[in-house]
Amino acid sequence: MNVDEYAVLDGYELAQLIRSGQVTAAEVQAAAGEAIERVNPRINATAAPPFAEPLSYAADGLFGGVPFGLKDLVCHAAGVPTRMGSRITGDRGVTHGHDTELMSRFRKAGLATVALTTSPEMGYNANTEPVVHGSTRNPWDPSRSAGGSSGGSGALVAAGAVPIAHANDGGGSIRIPAAFNGLVGLKPTTGRVSLAPDMQEGLYGFLAEFVVTRSVRDAALVLDEVAGWAPGDKYRLPDPPRPFREELAGESRPLRIAVHTESWAGTHVDPEVADAVHHVARTLEGLGHRVEQAAPRFSWDEFMLAHYRYWAGFVAESVHAVSQVSGVKPGPDTLEASVLAGYEYGRVLTVLDMAEASAIVTSISRTAGEFFGSYDVLLTPTTNTPPLPLGYLDADDPELGHEEWTRRIFDVASFTPLHNLTGSPAISLPLATTREGLPIGVQLAAGLCRESTLIGLAAQLEVALPWADRLPEIHASR
């Protein structure tokens, strides 16, 4: 298999070729290696040299032998050093003696991990330009950001180097890189994908683990493979009424869909982004759905207060834990300014501070829950703007304190974090481009445990507004 053939196929198509014997897994993986060699010097999306051989996987899994990228954050593989985008892990990184449950499920699904993908330090950015690795660049325009925090995964998938890559999302970190790179990015309901064995919940319940893909089909199939409870998990979600893959025929019943294009933060929304959302709304009406202007209403100042505290607590916990293992002390020579500020802010938070944040989260979650009692889906932009210029979100700017830094992120990514706070599922779809040809992501969100609704609706839109033939400037097939 040559790179040109390989780079335009999704994971399911590659798996079918391998299963039928038309190509071998080794040939597909060799094509992946060549694809990474072609594109990575220009996009800088790997956190370490690609593996000489993929990590072990189940050859009889659904995706048996399909190349895969593993984000260098949270989910980890036994014996593989992780740096979390940070110098505080030391020169060699931190190595775990076990797979996370999700990594084990990726292996069982047959995904063949060929590379680690870049992350900003501790995932604390909507951009991916850590000091330790440098800037990950957008394949559509290398002067632009690939988004974050799963920017390396987004860039590698968009560039045709791997069809599927791991991603995680505490404020938009699956959906933002999906939007910036022209991909499908599903954030599942909190708890749909287990964080075992290291966590019960991540980022105080804001964190969800999954992947970025080129097709809705791959998203549905991977979710079938990795979703589900693990022994010791405190909470267990109900299983979907049928496998997620069966939703790919498209949702049949008419849905009540709310559309909202005004930033909850009160910040600027690019007119091309808003126009894209309204075009999708008209398309959904044409498909028989009922669409109207509506949105949950809540205090953005209170929303941000909870985020200041939760993110600082997460950063302080993470930095402390890594420092204990690596032996590297936190300081300006080992942490970027934003993470150091968050660490120092988090160290002095009190139980009462966190209780106040928790009360805010509860109130806003109740408001959103009532909203989704009236509407099946909320349609919004994914991000306020198309891909940002590199350097716009500079995590090492010493002039920005913790609150200023957090607010700066959410000023330009104001539509994604609500669904982390509530735990509800949301998906970004690459349904439009700007006049300059840059991707625009459109977000669909639903009530808790309603991934099936989102996948069915996304499958309809993939047919109505297809994106598979759009290739970025930097692509392995070119």
Burial of 200 (0-12, 13-18, 19+ CB in 10 A): middle
What does the DSSP 8-state code read for residue 120? -
C-alpha to C-alpha distances, 31 to 9, 10, 25, 171, 464, nearest whole angstrom: 12, 14, 10, 34, 31
What does the DSSP 8-state code read for residue 161? S
State the residue for tokens 């069982």: 108
List of residues 6+ apart from 86 with CB closer than 8 A: 121, 122, 130, 132, 322, 334, 335, 336, 339
What gap in Å lies between CA 41 and CA 112, rounded to an integer?
A: 22
Active site residues: 71, 149, 173
List of residues 6+ apart from 223 with CB closer than 8 A: 186, 188, 192, 193, 210, 244, 451, 455
140 φ, ψ to 5°? -75, -30
